[in-house]
Amino acid sequence: MRTRQWLLNALTAAILVGLGACGGGGGDDEPIVPAGPTIEITVANRDTVAHATAAGVAGLSPTSIAPLSTGSSGRLMSVWLQPLSARVASALTQRERAQTAYGPYTYQCAISGTWGETDYDNDDDGLPSAGDVITIFFNNCQDAVGETANGSMTMTFTALSTAGGSADVTMAQMSYATARHTMTFDGAMLLDYTPGTVEIGRATAKGPMKLVVSTHLPFTDTVTLHDGFVVEEQYDTLLERTTSTTNGLLESAAANGVVRVTTMAGAPIAKNDTDDYPYAGTVQVKGMNSTLQMTVLSTSNVRLDLDADGNGSFESTETVAWDWLL
């Protein structure tokens, strides 16, 4: 089993969602979630909002998490069960007394570095079930040239059945670096999964989820997804196509304020597995009285339409490349 492009999937599948920034603070135990946007989107900060968008949605995309340690292009929660089930089944045949914790197991990555896992079988039944825990960790892991993963992620299953399941997911300094971008995640989310020909994954931020991003432009930012920010993805296993929607408040230190991000009704972000970027979809990014509308034109380009004064008309329009956004 090898880690695959766990974050790259997210960057190309759900990237077009607007971002803003910073937001009110609160106590460490109970941070205050802003009631709504706190900044206006202008010509001056539009590019910052657009760049931060990519990083923000990637941080909560179900498909950004799923491929970890599975060694396949499998999707969503179904692939999480493979390491635990296989590892526990193997351990059951070797042990002399009951136990619930297995590992840590460490493996060589394809090129260099290591990845590993620790499994906790809560009811010691040898099968994935509610209460079981998988921790995945990376140490300078390279499975592809120029792509390096570090950090750890822990998944605690809260419900599992043939009808689907849920898990609490926590990332600790979980980073993915390439020549074009570096992203580091810290925070928690709830992931819900429903299997079928069309698999459904829903990820919801639990408290503030922070993401530090730097890109080749260069562009650097710290993005926070506020509590309740949600990304839902539907994966058609026959067409090998993902459609995604999102809604919630995002915060960016670079833009110095908060905006609300919402996928336009009837226009989810759509991406084929064979493409690097989405081919369709429209997202609305709302400031206090302003709107940035981001429309996917093709797998190469995105149109940015800005209504800075909130009069319902776009004062500026520009077409940018996906490679520019990332």
The pLDDT, as a whole number, for residue 23 is: 31
State the average pLDDT over residues 246-258.
Answer: 93
Band (4; pLDDT cuts 50, 70, 90): very low
pLDDT digits over 199-244, tens only? Answer: 888 989 999 999 898 888 888 999 899 999 999 989 898 999 999 9
Strands 316-321 and 257-263: unpaired
User: Hey, which bits of 71-132 come out as E strands?
Assistant: 101-108, 112-120
> Is the pLDDT assigned to residue 99 strictly greater than 70?
no
Mean pLDDT, range 160-171, rounded to an integer: 84
Distances (CA, A) of 65 to 36, 59, 82, 169, 203: 28, 9, 14, 9, 10
What is the span of the domain harbouring residue 155?
Answer: 6-27+37-262
Is 296 inside any structural domain? no
Q: Answer yes or no: is 85 within a domain.
A: yes
**Please, which pLDDT band fits residue 98 given cuts at 50, 70 and 90?**
low
Residue 74 covered by a domain: yes
Does residue 92 lie within any of the structural domains?
A: yes
Q: Is residue 201 in a domain?
A: yes
Calculate what percentage of the chain has a pLDDT beyond 90. 37
For the entire predicted model, the pTM comes to: 0.80
Contacts 24+ apart (CB under 8 A), 292-299: 292/18, 292/41, 292/46, 292/49, 292/50, 293/264, 294/16, 294/17, 294/18, 294/50, 294/53, 296/16, 296/269, 296/270, 299/275
- pLDDT of 70 > 50? The answer is no
The rounded Cα 271 to chain-centroid distance in angstroms is 15
Residue 155 within a domain: yes
116 three-class SS: strand
Domain-embedded: residue 215: yes
Q: Based on the structure, what is the number of domains in the chain?
A: 1
Does residue 299 sit within a domain?
Answer: no
Q: Which residues contact 1 (CB under 8 A, 6 or more apart)?
A: 69, 70, 71, 82, 83, 107
